[in-house]
Amino acid sequence: MSVRSRFVLLFSIIGFIITLFSSCFKDEIVNTDPGFKLRFSTDSVFFDTTFTTIGSATKILKVFNDSKDPVVISEAKIRGSQGIHFTCNIDGIPGNDLNDIRIEAKDSIYVFCKVKVDPDQNLTESPFILNDFLDFTINSNTQSVVLVAWGQNANYITNKDNIGSQTLFTCDLGTVTWNDPKPYVIYGSLIIDECQLIIPEGARIYIHGGLVIPPGVNDAPFTDGRIFVGPRGQLTINGTAEKPVKFRGDRLEDEFKDKDGQWGGIVIFNSNRINKFSYLDLRNSNFGILADSATTLHLDHTIIDNVVLNCLIGNHATIKATNCLFSNSVGYNVVLTYGGNYNFDYCSIPNVSGQSFAMSLDNYTCDQDELGNCIKGSVKTNKAILVVRNSILSGLDDDEIKFVDAFEGAQPDQFQYSFTNSVLKVDDYQKDLYFQERNSNCIYMKRTDKIYVNENNSLFQLDSLSLARGIAVPIPTIQDDILGKIRKMVTPDAGCFEYLP
């Protein structure tokens, strides 16, 4: 071989080596941009299987790298927030916590997610809704995909992809009764319209709520899991003393037993029918019941307890409440606004938090500025009528009743109220002549007075030394208490509980 040929061969080999090394170095260049985001085929993986025995289902998620360079997922991990229900296989590798997963430029990988459910497990081990997250950490940022599956045998009313959304429940102006012995589970929000929904004794309704951020609302979160009764809808609850109807959040583990704000609440909006709730036990919501826009609501033997905002809200509504307990709200227990017609007989309304009032009543509404003040010219008024008999409005503040009259007494027919044979916590209102003229046979409690067995532990039955004992006037149409116990014929007790030694 000539010298020239040898040099040509040598340079060719050197060139090949340089090219090889360059290719290797180029392959090692990965995207390290901290603002880079992976793209997913979906942001939520829903398992649509209905389980009647132990079963499993598999779903596919695709993960895209839209960058011109390779990327490395430093960790892909299932959080395990509800125990190990979900498992994954990521790019051919099984595991719930994997590291250093490479996706080439303009390429993608497959993720196979699996859930295994025993529908007969105890609820503390497998709730109705199994909810977890698959987290992908890349360039020090974490993106999450939601994993959702049914976990127990129940009647699932809404779809799994209904989180933050609403489902219409209708029956062409007919009637539907939820009389299946299995629980009913609502995921997201349910609108009842052009239908009468009847919920019989002993029914259990579980609502999956939680904070969601709707698109295009400036990232303002709200509590999901609400029940709306529309203009041509009607909700009838027929519980009994032995078998009340229970509304709860769907997390029944012990640590969620007393956690408020788990779901939204019930809204009756402009319904032109009478909605009647008997022996309802509603707990752990954001608010209890909102009766809005001239709706009519009858409540009897009802407990609304442990809510974030208000137990009962009436907005230009007609509400009749008998033998009811409205307790453990961070806000006002009962809010009655923009007027309306309200009657409370044998009700207990204890303001245990001491941060607000047991009851608030006004006869106006308005548009508000950023400070919460009414904008000039935006005030609208409506006649307010309130009648309270044989009830208890108690609490830690000097006054547990708040009245705001837009007319400031100039038109007394537009703001009427009366209290009879009730226990009231009112220090300042005792000096108000207008208030004194509108109550009779009421007892004004002091901070040291005994009312309940132990309000700090939510035991609102009457103590043996309670001021509420024997002060009520008999109402012929109401002969029992919230538990169905017969009241004394001559000198019954005020509040929802009759004292029985």
At 423-465, the pLDDT tens digits run 999 988 777 777 888 889 999 999 889 999 999 899 999 999 9
Band the pLDDT of 259: cuts 50, 70, 90.
Answer: confident
Residue 233 pLDDT greater than 50, yes or no: yes
Tell the residue number behind the tokens 């509400």, with chain if given: 319
* Strand, coil or helix: 322: strand
Q: Where are the alpha helices (DSSP H) in 100-235?
A: none
User: How far is residue 176 from each of residues 166, 180, 191, 279, measured CA to CA in Å?
Assistant: 19, 12, 14, 19
- As a whole number, mean pLDDT of residues 28-51 equals 82
Tell the residue number behind the tokens 């698109």, with chain if given: 215
Residue of 89 and 222 predicted with greater confidence: 89
CA pair distance 347, 352, nearest whole angstrom: 15
- As a whole number, mean pLDDT of residues 327-354 equals 94
Q: Hey, which residues does 45 pair with through a beta bridge?
A: 147
CA angle 433, 439, 443 (to 5 degrees): 105
Tell the residue number behind the tokens 């941009």, with chain if given: 33
Strand 233-238 relative to strand 210-212: parallel, antiparallel, unpaired? unpaired
CA pair distance 365, 377, nearest whole angstrom: 11
- Pick the most confident of 130-134, 178-182, 469-473: 469-473
Residue 3 pLDDT greater than 70, yes or no: no
* Strand, coil or helix: 171: coil
CA pair distance 309, 330, nearest whole angstrom: 6
The structure's pTM equals: 0.80
Per-residue confidence (pLDDT) for residue 6, from 0 to 100: 56
The mean predicted confidence, pLDDT, of the chain is: 87
* Strand, coil or helix: 208: strand
CA pair distance 92, 140, nearest whole angstrom: 24
Q: Which residues contact 24 (CB under 8 A, 6 or more apart)?
A: none
Band the pLDDT of 25: cuts 50, 70, 90.
Answer: very low
pLDDT in tens, 357-398: 999 999 998 888 877 788 888 889 899 999 999 999 999 888
How many distinct helices (H) and strands (E) make up the chain? Answer: 2, 42
Residue 28 pLDDT greater than 80, yes or no: no
Per-residue confidence (pLDDT) for residue 82, from 0 to 100: 61
E strand segments, 399-492: 401-404, 415-420, 423-424, 439-440, 443-444, 452-454, 459-462
Return the closest-CA partner of residue 292 out of 314, 307, 325.
314
Per-residue confidence (pLDDT) for residue 398, from 0 to 100: 87
Q: Which of 88-92, 186-190, 205-209, 429-433 has the lowest mean pLDDT?
A: 429-433
Q: Which residues contact 292 (CB under 8 A, 6 or more apart)?
A: 267, 268, 269, 270, 313, 315, 316, 317
> Which 8-state DSSP code applies to residue 123?
T
CA pair distance 433, 407, nearest whole angstrom: 17
Per-residue confidence (pLDDT) for residue 26, from 0 to 100: 46
Phi-psi region at 431: left, alpha or beta (left = phi > 0; alpha = psi -120 to 50): alpha
Gyration radius of the chain's alpha carbons: 31
Strand 415-420 relative to strand 296-307: parallel, antiparallel, unpaired? unpaired
- As a whole number, mean pLDDT of residues 172-192 equals 92
Per-residue confidence (pLDDT) for residue 8, from 0 to 100: 47
